[in-house]
Structure 1
Amino acid sequence: MVKKRVLALILCAAMSMSVVGCGSTSSSDSGIPDGTYTGEGTGKGGKIVVELTMKDSKISDIKVVEHGETPGYADALEKMSAEMITKNTLEVDMVSGATLSSTGILEAVKDAFNKTGASTDKLVAQEGEVSKEEREAEYSADVIVLGGGGAGLTAAIEAAQNGASVILVEKMPMVGGNTLISGGEMAAPGNWLQEKESIEDSKEQFYQDILKGGDNENDPELVRVLADNATTDAEWLKNEIGVTFEDYMLFFGGHSVKRSLVPKDASGVELIQKLSAKAEEVGVITHLNTAATELVQEDGKVVAVKANFDGKEITYKASNGVILATGGFGSNLDMRIKYNEEMNEKILSTNSVGSTGDGITMAEKLGAQLVDMEYIQTYPTCDPETGTLLYVGDVRLEGRSILVNKEGKRFVEELERRDVISKATVAQTDSVSYMFWDEASMEASKVNVKHKKEYDNLIERGILVKADTIEDAAAHFGIDAEELKKTVANYNEYAANGKDLEFNKRGELVAFTDGPYYIMKSRPAIHHTMGGIKINTNAEVLNTAGEVIDGLYAAGEVTGDIHGTNRLGSDAIADITVFGRVAGRNAAKAE
């Protein structure tokens, strides 16, 4: 099939050098040649390739033949393609929450159309609407869950499995939230892989790590719930939800031992796909593109939610309760600055655009207590141009790289807390870091295979360089090569002696060997908001007097007081799973 397609393209090119694409080269009255044309654009996940078919001056078909967009965000490609075909125009609206994917598909289709040789004003727009979902003015269920990320899906599943009817309301056009675009790693003490590797760990050790990582600003009772249930709930994800975990772990900064499980393909996509499938299986009804606007109380109990769908107000009645799982506020600039002036417009964000603090705002209007709002975490190694998390950088979490500055020197322990590394990075020249590793580390971590599309994109953009010598790799970024060579030599000596004399790096020290060598440029970007709604150990929301707000529960990043000043890497998935289940279970049993 591939050979036939290649042959057809070759014949097509031979038949007409003036038309890019295969099909009839005759023009319609408008001057747009019939045919199929190929175009390229760049989305969030890299290159997007489309085939645009023109027939009788109309867009007959658009096929996306290649893309690297995350499932969910990829839906934007299909939606925009359908609208361009229906309306016979390239001027269509972006899909909310998927700006980069939307930009990429538009760019690709326009590139393809340009190869017709015709002007876009030759396209005659036509009336037509892509079929839209109809929605009633009112719905009722035992439990209403607001937010379709990892916490919301987990809560919805648990509520349904405990006998409740459940409607999940999500403002974005896809479920997933920040979980979808995360690495999906989950801290779990005493897990099955630790047993296999004879790593000693315990719930108590994890509990102490969380408290220490948050500078003891955490609520110890909430931390205890998290630490005691993380591994049981990881097993729930594996055995009941069907999540596939890889056969290796990562050593995240701030943890005392390697304990973080990695989902299939080191991506939150695995979690969301399996949670979504389970939610559907147990009867959870999901309403997308629906933004909750108000929590409704009667006689002191939260009994309903008002929401907006396509300009229409919808009321969702909850006989048992409402669960807030709407995430943090990392993408809400005004809210960030309100609580922490340092988190301004100069700092990029890794977050979903849906992370705007809506649930926090709605709960506060009911008198909910907010805690730790000033504690906003940045992830230290993000794309310096977009703020996106760099999963190729996971080589650091496997303990096989070092961070250096423009002067070629290490400046921080590579497995320190995220906030510590971020602060140290900002203090360096240009406020960036450079991650260095060798070919042996690449082969061991396989980040170029696990995250191939990202790897290729970084190489193409020059944010990551591969070179045969340290000198050539350093030259790409203008790093002091002689100092970098000294730094590498010193590190190799530390590895040989088993002791990092500069930063006391935890974990196994592995010496660098032969090239090729890799250097990746990165900078910190806003990643997690530790502050949010105060809850108790039953995931019930508390008011400013410390009393339970009847009928209101919360789980995930919308809550505060669990991680203190700083969240340790991979603790978020443990958090959303543990408290998502607690919230779902208790809401289902409420009367």
Structure 2
Amino acid sequence: MSDHHTVDLLVIGAGMAGLTAGARAVRDGLSVVVVEIGGDVGGSARYAGYAWTAPSHEVMERHNPGGDPSLKRALVDRFENGITWIRSTGVEVKGAQPVLSFGQGHQFDTHHYVDTCRRIIVEAGGELLLTTDTERLLLEDGAVTGAELRTSDGTRRQVRATSTLLATGGFQGDMDLRNKLVHPSADRMELRSNPHSRGAGHRLATAAGASTGLPGAGFYGHLIPSGVPFADPSDFVDLSLYYSEHALLFNLLGERFTDETLGDHLTTMALMEQPENRGLLIADARVFRDWVVGSYVEGAVAVDKFALAGRRGGRIGFAEDLDELAYLPEEWGYDGPAVRAAVERFNARTAAGADPVPGRRLDRLPLDQPPYYVIETVPAITFPFHGIRIDDRARVLGEDGEPVQGLLAAGSDTGGLWYRAYAGGIASALVFGLTAADTATVRATSGRGNRG
């Protein structure tokens, strides 16, 4: 086994968080090694296109009350500095624009960004190791001092580091961890992310004494048509039924069970709690015109998701009027008359200005413009909210609540920020990737001072 000289920062995972940290660190003069299990950098960031979050502490608290207060505050306070950092790399970032009903963010080319970060790291003398697995962290007197690696040809080596950052992207690719920490039926969900995020960060951290949580925190994902597997990464956006925020969603009993307008990403978690984790998403002509074939956010390419689901073999239905909703195909297993009656009740209450049950915070218009468009939908997972606990300096916390010396984490490996709520995964990876680099810089500088 070959040894590597001690570097200032070892980054495990070359996605948004890891590459951001590595690029920032080398610009600050640190020596850096980046390890990636896949054959290329970027991870799930290559499928994104926006960095966004809540624009204020008040908005963050309203939409994510169960999240860790210090992490929420750090994300809001440091977000604009993160956008400034992206621009400093030469990547174009567009002006601020609204995202969802409450967020604010910026569109940018994430492909260009992750490739630029890679170039910054390599040109500064940093080392990038692709198709390399991290087998274990090195521990000395309770502190993490690097890691033991194994390359694709079986060669093992040790990299010693003053700071080690875990940024492997979560554990959504590991079915056992999904079922244990997300939901007992989580293995049924399609994977809406890169396939390499299989819990390496979680396992490495817990073996080093890290704490994880929060229990029952949920996951980030979106509704997709049932029976339609993802064929390539473009499907992650094209097949996501974002318009569910304006439609009505029914379970197998023909019941609405959540306020759909809170967000497709939250409705996705709610559907996991329903019988067989599937439901019917119903839009009328207004919703179809304004939302199904419209852009989810400004600048996004519009896709007719109803037509796409039909072409790909999904369960779709078309009703000329409200009465036809009662005649759903028997093999689907839904109570058609109950669905029809529920839509009629919803329309009557909203037309009269009364609150429907469940409530409806936004889009309170009736769905009374035929025809009706029906898609059977199921949840898909992007990443879990349960993860490695960190403080607002990106330091991993042990079971005693104190930092595990030398160990940092950022991005989807972390837990605590979101609790059955969500306001921007790219933003979190950006902010805490930069924070991890800054913490590593302080440690490296302090160590050099002590040696001097």
TM-score greater than 0.5 by the shorter chain: yes
Q: Quote the sequence identity (%).
A: 24
Residues 160/456 of structure 1: CA separation in 2 closer, same or farther (3 Å cut): farther
Residues 519/236 of structure 1: CA separation in 2 closer, same or farther (3 Å cut): farther
The structure 2 residue matched to 1:539, chosen from 384, 388, 394, is 394
Residues 306/272 of structure 1: CA separation in 2 closer, same or farther (3 Å cut): farther
The structure 2 residue matched to 1:570, chosen from 405, 423, 429, is 423
The structure 2 residue matched to 1:259, chosen from 82, 103, 114, is 103
- String of CA shifts for 1:299-321, please: whole Å, max 9, x gaps: 65533322222133353635542
Q: What is the CA-CA distance between 1:345 and the residue it aligns to?
A: 4.1
Partner residue, 1:219? 68
Asked if 2 retains the 8 angstrom alpha-carbon contact of 1:349 and 1:525, the reply is: yes
1:224 aligned partner, one-letter code: R
Residues 172/401 of structure 1: CA separation in 2 closer, same or farther (3 Å cut): same
In 2: Cα distance, 1:513 partner to 1:537 partner: 48
SS, match of residue 361 in structure 2 = coil
SS, match of residue 241 in structure 2 = helix
- String of CA shifts for 1:321-378, please: whole Å, max 9, x gaps: 2211012222222334455672464455434322221122122222223333564437
In 2: Cα distance, 1:467 partner to 1:167 partner: 55
In 2: Cα distance, 1:372 partner to 1:431 partner: 22
In 1: Cα distance, 2:347 partner to 2:170 partner: 41
2:61 aligned partner, one-letter code: Y
Q: What is the CA-CA distance between 1:542 and the residue it aligns to?
A: 2.7
Residues 474/285 of structure 1: CA separation in 2 closer, same or farther (3 Å cut): farther
In 2: Cα distance, 1:557 partner to 1:304 partner: 21
1:145 aligned partner, one-letter code: V
- String of CA shifts for 1:359-402, please: whole Å, max 9, x gaps: 221222222233335644374623433675565411124xx222
Partner residue, 1:309? 151
Asked whether 1:160 is paired with 2:26, we answer: yes
Asked if 1 retains the 8 angstrom alpha-carbon contact of 2:137 and 2:147, the reply is: yes
In 2: Cα distance, 1:483 partner to 1:373 partner: 35
For 1:472-487, what aligned pairs fall within 5 Å after superposition?
477=329, 484-487=339-342
Residues 338/280 of structure 1: CA separation in 2 closer, same or farther (3 Å cut): same
For 1:26-425, what aligned pairs fall within 5 Å after superposition?
138=4, 141-181=7-47, 184=50, 186-189=52-55, 202-210=56-64, 212=65, 214=66, 218-234=67-83, 236-237=85-86, 241-244=91-94, 247-251=97-101, 258-261=102-105, 263=107, 270-281=109-120, 283=123, 285-298=127-140, 301-315=143-157, 317-339=159-181, 342-343=184-185, 345-372=187-214, 375-377=217-219, 379=221, 381-385=223-227, 391-397=239-245, 400-406=246-252, 408-416=254-262, 421-422=267-268, 424-425=270-271
Asked if 2 retains the 8 angstrom alpha-carbon contact of 1:373 and 1:531, the reply is: yes
Residues 340/404 of structure 1: CA separation in 2 closer, same or farther (3 Å cut): closer
Q: What is the CA-CA distance between 1:432 and the residue it aligns to?
A: 1.3
SS, match of residue 590 in structure 1 = helix
Partner residue, 1:441? 287
Q: Mind listing any 5+ residue stretches in structure 2 that lack a counterpart?
A: 231-235, 296-300, 445-452
In 2: Cα distance, 1:368 partner to 1:453 partner: 45
The structure 2 residue matched to 1:522, chosen from 361, 365, 377, is 377
Asked if 1 retains the 8 angstrom alpha-carbon contact of 2:182 and 2:384, the reply is: no
SS, match of residue 436 in structure 2 = helix
Give the total of aligned pairs. Answer: 424
- String of CA shifts for 1:100-120, please: whole Å, max 9, x gaps: xxxxxxxxxxxxxxxxxxxxx
RMSD across aligned C-alpha pairs, in angstroms?
Answer: 3.7
Residues 585/347 of structure 1: CA separation in 2 closer, same or farther (3 Å cut): same
In 1: Cα distance, 2:394 partner to 2:217 partner: 21
Asked if 1 retains the 8 angstrom alpha-carbon contact of 2:4 and 2:160, the reply is: no
SS, match of residue 33 in structure 2 = strand
Q: What is the CA-CA distance between 1:204 and the residue it aligns to?
A: 3.0
Q: What is the CA-CA distance between 1:287 and the residue it aligns to?
A: 2.8
Partner residue, 1:589? 442
Q: What is the CA-CA distance between 1:138 and the residue it aligns to?
A: 4.7
Q: Which moved more, 1:458-467 or 1:220-229?
A: 458-467
Q: What is the CA-CA distance between 1:438 and the residue it aligns to?
A: 3.2
1:350 aligned partner, one-letter code: R
Partner residue, 2:233? none
Asked if 1 retains the 8 angstrom alpha-carbon contact of 2:222 and 2:265, the reply is: yes
In 2: Cα distance, 1:584 partner to 1:499 partner: 52
Q: Mind listing any 5+ residue stretches in structure 1 that lack a counterpart?
A: 1-135, 190-201, 252-257, 265-269
In 2: Cα distance, 1:184 partner to 1:386 partner: 26
Asked if 2 retains the 8 angstrom alpha-carbon contact of 1:360 and 1:533, the reply is: yes
Asked if 2 retains the 8 angstrom alpha-carbon contact of 1:303 and 1:321, the reply is: yes
Q: What is the CA-CA distance between 1:573 and the residue it aligns to?
A: 2.5
Report runs of 4+ in structure 1 exceeding 6 Å deviation: 417-420
Partner residue, 2:410? 555
Partner residue, 2:314? 463
In 2: Cα distance, 1:160 partner to 1:587 partner: 11
Residues 385/307 of structure 1: CA separation in 2 closer, same or farther (3 Å cut): farther
Q: What is the CA-CA distance between 1:555 and the residue it aligns to?
A: 0.6
- String of CA shifts for 1:157-203, please: whole Å, max 9, x gaps: 222332223332110123333334457562231xxxxxxxxxxxx32
Residues 444/340 of structure 1: CA separation in 2 closer, same or farther (3 Å cut): closer
Residues 447/229 of structure 1: CA separation in 2 closer, same or farther (3 Å cut): farther
Residues 246/582 of structure 1: CA separation in 2 closer, same or farther (3 Å cut): closer
- String of CA shifts for 1:16-38, please: whole Å, max 9, x gaps: xxxxxxxxxxxxxxxxxxxxxxx
1:250 aligned partner, one-letter code: L
2:77 aligned partner, one-letter code: D
In 2: Cα distance, 1:448 partner to 1:369 partner: 43
